[in-house]
Amino acid sequence: MTKNTSTRIESVLIETRVFAPDATASAGARIASMAAYDALCKEAADDFDGFWARQAKANVTWTKPFTRTLDESNAPFYKWFDDGELNASANCLDKHIGTPVENKTAIIFEADDGAVTKVTYKELLARVSQFANALKAEGIRKGDRVIIYMPMTIEGVIAMQACARIGATHSVVFGGFSAKALQERIIDAGAVAVITANYQLRGGKELPLKAIVDDGIALGGCESIKSVLVYQRTATACAMVAGRDKTFAEVLQGQPSECPPVPVGAEHPLFILYTSGSTGKPKGVQHATGGYLLWAKLTMDWTFDVRPEDVFWCTADIGWITGHTYVAYGPLAAGATQVVFEGIPTFPHAGRFWQMIEKHKVTIFYTAPTAIRSLIKAADSDEKVHPKNWNLSTLRILGAVGEPINPEAWMWYHRNIGAEKCPIVDTFWQTETGGHVITPLPGATPLVPGSCTLPLPGIMAAIVDETGKDIPNGAGGMLVIKRPWPSMIRTIWNDPERFKKSYFPEEMGGTIYLAGDGAVRSADRGYFRITGRIDDVLNVSGHRLGTMEIESALVAKTDLVAEAAVVGRPDDVTGEAVCAFVVLKRGRPASDEEARKIATELRNWVAKEIGPIAKPKDIRFGENLPKTRSGKIMRRLLRSLAKGEAITQDTSTLENPAILEQLGRAH
Ligand code: PRX
């Protein structure tokens, strides 16, 4: 499980700056003071079930009310509100009909080329319903799994909502994943259909999606797929397989724009989202409908304190959990107006985000530290893309997600984007948690740069040692959540044993959720600071990558690679970078030029096997890897080598010390 805890937890960072929310942030906020926050925490501690039952009644529209709040009889397979029924899409769309929200803009879509399209809630409901009817006409039913491999578009959100409307379980695959990654997910999920687009537009480039679906299916084992539905994003034609493939225009033809939402049990799987773990095979994180939806809505209210006049913008792709909870579900459940952006932050210039904030009068902006760091770099080197060139005065709350935000980047965000007035909510959470779990509240929490501060009410987060014993403030340990919460992962699709083993260690009693991150609480305030993963998962640009997944991809290049080990190293912009140590079958490259050529070949190979995000930044070649006499790879040494650190660790158990020198060199 967590053998390398002690080596991965950094020493306690001393950050003394504190930024208390000013009166404008607190005024009218749902949780407007620490006293109000404490009162909610106390309510949850004193009457756990009652607290959650009240929240679920107040925030979710149930077609059949639940009578049971939490069922722990088969822990850690917890069930929430399980005799209740609801529909997630009805909770995002239908519930606004007949209210002032119905004619409000639901989505402001800005395309890669800057073109803007808007849809109201009423229009979105009609389009989701029509597409849901098209899915039904394809024979897709409640409980079927549907893969969505779509660009960031209104149609992507519609595809997800339409699945939810008919009770089909969606599994969105990020558009940057490869044909092989797609095939593995299709097979594991046993999907009956793929919803995709002919191409996606990113940074002025037209990139194929449908062709990758075809390649994925052609890899074999995807017989469960009966239809492939293709959104024509661009005018360019793509190959279509007769009988299996249809365009959106074809399937929507003649479909009515009303479709009754199918009520499902609260525990019905709303979606499966694959994410990296410590083994080679991605985990299908399964989320339930009721608890997930409750938390998507409630965290919009608590963390973002979203108000009717807000324009919310979460820059995450729908292929990631952030795009699920804070694009496809949360903002709609909260009746907010949101921006959906197809493109990338650096096209046509690195001021695009700031320009869009001005253009759409964005009030709440939520992005990843990596994006902030890369835009800092861009602004430093080119005045023209500095945020000062745009009017950002509409902003009132900023957010960060996906990786630790370093205090320098926090301060830049605070000064240059937030004009020193906007609270920054540094939200800690995971694919598995469904929504925020540790985060500041904009109207209440005094902020400390680099700290995600305190758990939300009802989230019993703690820091413990290997046996589950609490660790005092000021010392590092493992982040856990001691009680279940409604939006937690329910199981790993097809692999309940792996679910138990990965998240509920026996040594801690088998019912406590282990997040997989190291953390430390500050001695003075008890604030949490995440120190990074304690397993073999890397976080590159806020994207989760398994080291074993990349190793498996490298050794699958059987003509070249004999052995490979992958570790992370710190990177100024991407947080962590992938560093691969490779033993070639033919021995070490004879020249730098040959090393570069092979490294390029291996990078392209990894992009093909997993996706471009997994490409190693550094590749080093050696005759062997550092191993103990029993043959175990000494990863801690590789981590030091990757960082360019002098080796101070004990190398006495090392079988072959000479190769450290080889692997320490760039090539
Ligand atoms: O290591 C933590 C980091 O991202 C991991 C979860 O990745 P994923 O499931 O892809 O979800 C990302 C978006 C929620 C965590 O285990 N992480 C996420 N948010 C933060 C963070 N690390 C530090 N601070 C955060 N705010």
pLDDT tens by residue, 83-97: 999 999 999 999 999
Residue 84 C-alpha from the chain's centroid: 28
- Give all strands (DSSP E) within 290-363, no chain letters: 311-314, 337-341
Residue ranges for the known binding site for ATP are 402-404, 426-431, 517, 533, 544
Atom of ligand 1 nearest to the CA of 439: 26
Rounded average pLDDT over 417-427: 97
pLDDT surpassing 60 at residue 12? no
Of the pLDDT bands very low, low, confident and very high (cuts 50, 70, 90), residue 23 is confident
Q: What is the pLDDT of residues 469-506, one digit of tens each?
A: 999 999 999 999 999 999 999 999 999 999 999 999 99
pLDDT computed for residue 666 by the predictor? 63
pLDDT computed for residue 261 by the predictor? 98
Which of 544, 547, 549 to mutate to test ligand 1, by most ligand atoms within 8 A of the CB atom? 544
Rounded distance from Cα 595 to ligand 1 centre (Å): 34
Rounded average pLDDT over 19-36: 93
Give me the phi and psi of 469, to 5 degrees please: -80, 140
The C-alpha atoms of residue 592 and residue 666 are separated, in whole angstroms, by: 9
Of the pLDDT bands very low, low, confident and very high (cuts 50, 70, 90), residue 13 is low
The two structure tokens encoding residue 427:
């939200």
pLDDT surpassing 80 at residue 650? no
Is any ligand 1 atom within 6 A of the Cβ of residue 430? Answer: yes
pLDDT computed for residue 330 by the predictor? 98
Burial class (CB in 10 A: 0-12, 13-18, 19+), 10: exposed
- Give all strands (DSSP E) within 257-388, no chain letters: 264-265, 269-275, 283-288, 311-314, 337-341, 364-367
Rounded distance from Cα 516 to ligand 1 centre (Å): 10
Rounded distance from Cα 232 to ligand 1 centre (Å): 34
Of the pLDDT bands very low, low, confident and very high (cuts 50, 70, 90), residue 393 is very high
Q: What is the dihedral of CA 640, 646, 647, 649, to 10 degrees?
A: -90
Which of 530, 535, 536, 545 to mutate to test ligand 1, by most ligand atoms within 8 A of the CB atom? 530
Give me the phi and psi of 441, to 5 degrees please: -105, 130
Which of 428, 432, 528, 543 to mutate to test ligand 1, by most ligand atoms within 8 A of the CB atom? 428
Residue ranges for the known binding site for Mg(2+) are 555, 561
Q: Residue 632: what residue type?
A: K
Question: DSSP letters along 40-101, please?
Answer: HHHHHHHSHHHHHHHHHHHH---SB--S--EE-TTTTS-EESTT-EE-HHHHHTGGGTTSGG
Query: Which single residue is written with the structure tokens 């500095």?
Result: 386
Q: What is the pLDDT of residues 132-180, one digit of tens each?
A: 999 999 999 999 999 999 999 999 999 999 999 999 999 999 999 999 9
Atom of ligand 1 nearest to the CA of 537: 1
Beta-ladder partners of 273: 285
Task: Please name the residue whose Cα sits nearest to atom 10 of ligand 1.
Answer: 544
pLDDT surpassing 70 at residue 5? no
Q: Tell me if ipTM is over 0.90.
A: yes
Task: Please name the residue whose Cα sits nearest to atom 26 of ligand 1.
Answer: 428
pLDDT computed for residue 327 by the predictor? 98
Is any ligand 1 atom within 6 A of the Cβ of residue 429? Answer: yes
- The answer to whether the predicted template modeling score (pTM) of the entire model surpasses 0.90 is yes
Task: Please name the residue whose Cα sits nearest to atom 25 of ligand 1.
Answer: 428
490 to 71, 267, 551: CA distances (angstroms): 12, 8, 28
Q: Poorest-confidence range of 48-52, 222-226, 386-390, 570-574?
A: 570-574
Of the pLDDT bands very low, low, confident and very high (cuts 50, 70, 90), residue 649 is confident
Task: Please name the residue whose Cα sits nearest to atom 24 of ligand 1.
Answer: 404
Considering the chain, what is the average pLDDT of its residues? Answer: 95
Alpha helical stretches, state H, 241-288: 248-252
Rounded average pLDDT over 439-455: 97
Of the pLDDT bands very low, low, confident and very high (cuts 50, 70, 90), residue 648 is confident
